[in-house]
Amino acid sequence: MSQEFDLIVIGAGSGGVALSRRAARHGARVAVIENSRVGGTCVIRGCVPKKLLMYAAQYGELLREAAGFGWTVPETAFSMTRWADAKAAETARLEDVYRKLLADGDVTLIEGTARLLAPHRLAVGAQEFTAKHIVIATGARPARDVIPSLEDCPTSDDLLDLRELPASAVVLGGGYIAAEFASMLARLGVAVTMLYRDRLPLRGFDDDLRTRLATALAQAGIDLRPGCMASRIERLPAGWRLHLPAGETLDTPWTLNALGRRPNTAKLGLEAIGLELGKNGAVPVNAELATALPGLHAVGDVTDRKNLTPVAIAEGRWLADRLFAAGHDAPVALESIATAVFTLPPMASLGPTEAQCSAPTTVYEADFRPMREAFSGGKGRTYMKLLVDTASDRVRGIHMIGADAPEIVQSLAVAVTAGVTKAQFDRTIAIHPTAAEEFVLMRTPARNAGGATTDAPPT
C-alpha cells in the first residue's frame, strides 16, 4: 500500500529543501527523498567546502603579504589533514542544521533512491509513494565520459576529501571549477598544470576578465596550456599518464577532472515513464517549471539552465508558491543574474559581456593596482567594467576581477535590478579609500560597443 503526499521532492539539496519547507508552510503534506547527505552538492561537496579551501589558500597569500606591512612572520606550513578534519566537522554541522530545518518544517525525510513509476507515483526500495505533484531536484554530477578513461580520474568531490595534497597535479578543463581549484592548489604549494581547449579559461565570461585571470593564474605559477587537452588517460601505479596532441605524454601523480557537470537524472526512471530528456540528460521544463508530464516538475541544476545554488532556491520557493499558494510572483528571471568565480583573485559578473551587447553600448573601465598590493610590493591588480545602454543610460553589465569582487558586485546587483542609470552612479558619493569607489568614479568612456555609432552621452 502506497503512502500519499501532496508533494514529493526528489533531492534534499538547497533547491529541494527550500521548496519542501515553503510548500509545507503553505499547508501541503510534503516528503523529500535523498539518497546521500542532506544539504546536497552546495553544502556538502561544493560551494561551502570549496570556499573554505579558498579561505585556506587566501590565508597563505595574506601571510606572505604581511612582511610588507611590518610583520615578522615565522615559517609557516599548511596541513591539509587539519583542514579536512575541520571541513568534515563543519559540513556535518550544516547537515544537522538542514535535517532540523526539515523536521521543524513538518517535512518528511525519506532516505533512499527514488525511481519514478508514473507521473504521480514512485518507489524507494520496496516502498511506494504517490503525490499530486512530484519535483525533480537532484542537481548535477561531474561528467566522467568526455574523454576515454576519464571515469578513473578524481573530481572536485574527491579533491575536497583529500587529507594530503600531491606535490603536483594536472587540472583538466577551463571552466569555473577548474580555474578555482587550480588557483587554490597553486597557493597551497601544489605545482599545477592546467589543460583547456579554448584560448582562455572561463568561456562565457567577459574577455577582459578572462585575459586578466589567465595572467593571474600564470603569476601564481600555474603552467597554462591553452588549446591543449588529453585525448586519452592511462592509469599508472603511482598516478596518471595523459596522452596529449602530437604524441606528447604527461605523467602526473594526481589529475583533477573538471570537464563539466551533467544533470543527475540517471536511474530515476524518467524515460521509462515517457519523459524525453534534453541534452546531457537535462529535464526540460517550461517557464512554470513544469515538464511535459502532468504533475511532474523540476528545479535547479537538473534542468541545466542557470546552474547556480541561489537560482535553485529561488525556483523552489517560487514553485511552492505557484502550487500551494493563492498568489505568486512572476517566474524567476534567468536573463541577468550575478555570478562569481572564487579564484584568487576572485571574479564576479552581472549582465551581458561586452561581446554580447547588441544594442549601442558605452563601455567604462578601471584598471589599477590596489593600495594593499602597491604598499606590500604585490603584483595583483583590480579591473572593473561598466556596460551602459547608450540610448537609455541604464547600466546593463558589471564585471570585476580583484579582491572582494563577489561582495561588491552582489551589492551593485540590487541597483542594476532596480534599473540604475550611469547618471545615478555618477551622483553617488564615493567611500574613500576603497576599491569599490572606482565604480562611481568612472567618468570617461573607454569605447563604444554593440554597434554603437553615436557619441557617448556627456559626463
Cα dihedral 303, 309, 314, 316, rounded to 10, equals 60
Please state, in angstroms and rounded to a whole number, the distance separating the CA atoms of residues 4 and 108: 12
Please state, in angstroms and rounded to a whole number, the distance separating the CA atoms of residues 230 and 185: 20
DSSP annotation string for 244-256 = -GGG-EEEES-EE
Task: Assign 442 to helix, strand or coil.
Answer: coil
| 176 is annotated as contributing to ligand binding | yes
Please state, in angstroms and rounded to a whole number, the distance separating the CA atoms of residues 459 and 451: 21
User: For the chain, first and last CA: distance in Å?
Assistant: 72
Q: Taken in order 18, 21, 23, 28, is the CA torsion positive or negative? A: positive
Q: Where are the alpha helices (DSSP H) in 325-421?
A: 371-376, 405-417
Please state, in angstroms and rounded to a whole number, the distance separating the CA atoms of residues 37 and 44: 7
Is the CB of residue 439 less than 8 Å from the CB of residue 416?
A: no
Whether residue 399 lies in the annotated active site: no
Choosing from 297, 328, 399, 432, the catalytic residue is: 432
| 179 is annotated as contributing to ligand binding | yes
Largest CA distance in the chain: 73
Contacts of 238 (CB under 8 A, 6+ apart): 253
Q: Are strands 191-196 and 168-172 parallel, antiparallel or unpaired?
A: parallel
| 59 is annotated as contributing to ligand binding | no
| 364 is annotated as contributing to ligand binding | no
Residue with cell 589533514: 81
| 173 is annotated as contributing to ligand binding | yes
| 136 is annotated as contributing to ligand binding | no
Residue 91: its H or E element? helix 80-104
Please state, in angstroms and rounded to a whole number, the distance separating the CA atoms of residues 414 and 416: 6
| 301 is annotated as contributing to ligand binding | yes
| 178 is annotated as contributing to ligand binding | yes
Please state, in angstroms and rounded to a whole number, the distance separating the CA atoms of residues 227 and 27: 54
DSSP structural state of residue 287: T
Please state, in angstroms and rounded to a whole number, the distance separating the CA atoms of residues 211 and 207: 6
Binding residues for NAD(+), as ranges, are: 173-180, 260
Binding residues, as ranges, are: 51, 173-180, 260, 301
Cite the active site residues: 432
Binding residues for FAD, as ranges, are: 51, 301
